[in-house]
Amino acid sequence: MTHPRRRTAAEAIAAKDPRGRIRVVTDPDPSGPATALRTADPSWSCVGPDATHHVVFQDDVLIADNFFPYAEKVAAAVPGEAVAFYEGWEGRNSGVVRLGALTGAQWAYAIDEHVPSLALMLPAEAARGYRRFAAEHGGGWPYDVVIQRYLKALDIPVRIAVPSTVDHDDVPSIAGNSTHGWRRATFFTDRAPLFAEPDRTCPEFSVVPFYQYGESKCAVRQAEGWECLDTDRYLRRAGLLDRCEAGLAAADLPALPGTVCRQVWLTAFATGAVVAGLTDRDPEPAAARAVFEALGPGGLCEEYTGAELVPMIPLVRDLALTAFAAGRAAHRATADAPRPAPVPGVVVTGGDPAFAAQLARLLTDAGRPAVHAERLDPAAPAVPGAPDAVIHLGSPHDTGYPLADLLADAEKLGARRLVHASSAAVYRGGAAEDRTEDSVTEPPKDAEARLWWDAEQQCRAWGRQSGTPVQIVRFAEPVGPHAPLGGVLADWMLRAWTRRPMPLTEGRRHQIVDYRDMAGALAALLARPAGPEVCNVASAGYDETALAELVTETARRTPWEQAPAPAAHTPLMSTDLITAETGWRPSASVRNGARAQAQWLACDTHDDLVGLWA
């Protein structure tokens, strides 16, 4: 697939197949907005009538010697799977390739993320069905997200070659991806293996450390899907953070920014710990050097130019190899040490189940062991004895677990405290100045605000009747994975991903709360006897333009346009009271949380499509 301006380069790639099977397909509307999605349709549709598999290359690839006989063997060995012959050093799946290389695997299954589509092979029938799916579900989403959702709907797994047998040729992106910086494979071989029969074994990792956007993360498989969390948080859960920090403090650090040293160390240390839990064998030295040489450019390619990254590569590699060895040693030293699970005393209910489960884990991280339960069950309680607290994520539109039922169940369980997570929407339609907790003393006139107010009043009345302390926490618009989609930021992110302009209204101000700050504020309240009946919680405030810029920085660059003011808008809240009462202050990186939300919207919100095309 190519653009007419690069047809010559595409024809040179096509000429590499000795049997002449590659067809060059050009953008059907080359003057239209830059997107690979438009050319993907004809590229996947031109399947030969007798083909068993179909491969689509983008026009900026380098292909290993012996690739085509190798691809034929792979197609015959795994006929029902998608095969990615390339994975870049800048994504979550770079961590998958790194783990595969360090454990000696030839393949590894991709985790949830946009599918690496620079050189992708599908079964022929799946290739033929792509056009219809894209027409019905594409909706302007990026091509690699659409192909991911398509394969998820078909329940076709994606296996990634380790090493890659196709690399990215560093030429300017016509599809608008040059803002992502220098892009190459995590691990590349310039000669595809000559084997009589490929190894079909393909590991599926449950913990994947990766380095992206300058941040060290771990993708961890949970019951509700993948959780991408900061690596230091993962290491704390694994009981390894103290050893990691001690190793970093003792290391001879290279001449790199301190933040880079720390994030590289965290990633490589966690990688070592994961690898030690998978195998006792030492990694092949050349493979270890190669995958850690790709670590720095992958994590920093949007912040530094290629020329700036080149001298950093050996410094990052050597630091990462040291941290990798320290992580392996730490895992081996602690593998047999008993680690009793904390006894939960907090139950989180209500809201989106995935968001509630995530919040319960974050509360546990903050020292308030918690579990998630979709309903309180007095016959089979989620925690032993009466819960110290029930945290209910309120939603006036949620009929799955009516608030009256929740309150009755909490009373039967003997809950010692109820924390009702309400919303800043209770202030909708009020004055523009920052609102304090006592700003609303009577039922609001705005219909949405009234629903939140009524739920708060219901909880207060129950508390007076039952004698149970009740606290109301009014949160600003939540931001992070699994956050509700009704807020302005989520709406604008969805518009950005699907190439629709954001409607800005002059004069509005916005307030958001990072999902980790939500947990921190709740933990701070629970650490003290029940205090103020109502508290406001927010992480940061933005004017209209600043919030739009946050979207373009963390999701996708997109235009915006002026729009008329909505009938009512939520004003900003003062958070002085919770700080005075508990000392809590927002501490999470809101930009980090917004990017996590944007990535979740693009890569993890497609499970509703599963089965539609099977």
Which amino acid does the sequence have at 192?
A: A
Instruction: Quote the pLDDT of residue 468.
Output: 97
**DSSP output for 201-237:** -----SEEEEEETTEEEEEEEETTEEEEEEHHHHHHH
Q: What is the pLDDT of residues 584-609, one digit of tens each?
A: 999 999 999 999 999 999 988 765 44
Distance of CA 427 to the CA centre of its chain: 31
Helix axes 92-102, 285-293, angle to 10 degrees: 170
Instruction: Quote the pLDDT of residue 178.
Output: 40
Q: What is the pLDDT of residues 327-336, one digit of tens each?
A: 999 999 999 8
Q: How confident is the model at residue 346 (pLDDT cuts 50, 70, 90)?
A: very high
Which amino acid does the sequence have at 9?
A: A
- Give the pair of three-digit tokens for residue 598: 């944007």
Q: What is the pLDDT of residues 148-178, one digit of tens each?
A: 999 999 999 999 999 999 999 875 443 444 4
Q: Per-residue pLDDT averaged across 288-307, rounded?
A: 95
Q: What is the pLDDT of residues 244-261, one digit of tens each?
A: 999 999 999 999 999 999
- Give the pair of three-digit tokens for residue 32: 């239209």
Exposure of 1 by Cβ count < 10 A (0-12 exposed, 13-18 middle, 19+ buried)? Answer: buried
The answer to which of 79-88, 132-141, 289-298 has the lowest mean pLDDT is 132-141
Instruction: Quote the pLDDT of residue 595.
Output: 96
Question: How many whole angstroms separate alpha carbon 347 and alpha carbon 371?
Answer: 5
Question: How many whole angstroms separate alpha carbon 85 and alpha carbon 73?
Answer: 13
pTM: 0.93
Q: How confident is the model at residue 36 (pLDDT cuts 50, 70, 90)?
A: confident
Q: What is the mean pLDDT of the chain?
A: 92
Question: How many whole angstroms separate alpha carbon 66 and alpha carbon 217?
Answer: 35
The sheet that has 158-161: what strands, in order across it?
53-57, 119-123, 82-84, 158-161, 107-109
The answer to which of 347-356, 396-405, 571-580 has the lowest mean pLDDT is 396-405
Instruction: Quote the pLDDT of residue 176.
Output: 43
Instruction: Quote the pLDDT of residue 177.
Output: 43
Element (H, E) at 350: strand 346-350
Instruction: Quote the pLDDT of residue 471.
Output: 98
Question: Within 10 Å of residue 254's Cβ, how many Cβ atoms?
Answer: 15
For residue 552, pLDDT over 80 is answered with yes
Q: Which stretches within 366-446 are classed as H helix?
A: 403-413
Q: Are 55 and 120 in contact (CB under 8 A)?
A: yes
Q: What is the pLDDT of residues 194-248, one digit of tens each?
A: 887 888 999 999 999 999 999 999 999 998 889 999 999 999 999 999 999 999 9
For residue 446, pLDDT over 70 is answered with yes
Question: Within 10 Å of residue 583's Cβ, how many Cβ atoms?
Answer: 10
For residue 612, pLDDT over 50 is answered with no
Q: Are 209 and 274 in contact (CB under 8 A)?
A: yes
For residue 506, pLDDT over 50 is answered with yes
Question: How many whole angstroms separate alpha carbon 67 and alpha carbon 190?
Answer: 9
Q: Name which residue leads in pLDDT, 479 or 6.
A: 479
Question: How many whole angstroms separate alpha carbon 1 and alpha carbon 26?
Answer: 6
Q: Per-residue pLDDT averaged across 182-189, rounded?
A: 95
Instruction: Quote the pLDDT of residue 564.
Output: 83
Q: Are 309 and 296 in contact (CB under 8 A)?
A: yes
Q: Would you give the DSSP letter of residue 427?
A: G
Which residues share a beta bridge with 473?
A: 421, 535
Instruction: Quote the pLDDT of residue 366.
Output: 96
Tell me which residue of 174, 199, 201, 170 sits closest to 7, measured CA to CA.
Answer: 174
Q: Per-residue pLDDT averaged across 110-127, rounded?
A: 95
CA distances from 13 to 10, 36, 172 (A): 5, 18, 17
- The distance in angstroms from the start CA to the end CA of the chain is 27
For residue 613, pLDDT over 70 is answered with no
**DSSP output for 84-97:** ES--BTTSHHHHHH
Q: How confident is the model at residue 341 (pLDDT cuts 50, 70, 90)?
A: confident
Cβ burial 332-353 (10 Å sphere, 16+ → b, else e) = eeeeeeeeeeeebbbbbbbbbb
- Give the pair of three-digit tokens for residue 236: 């704390």
Which amino acid does the sequence have at 199?
A: D
Instruction: Quote the pLDDT of residue 485.
Output: 86
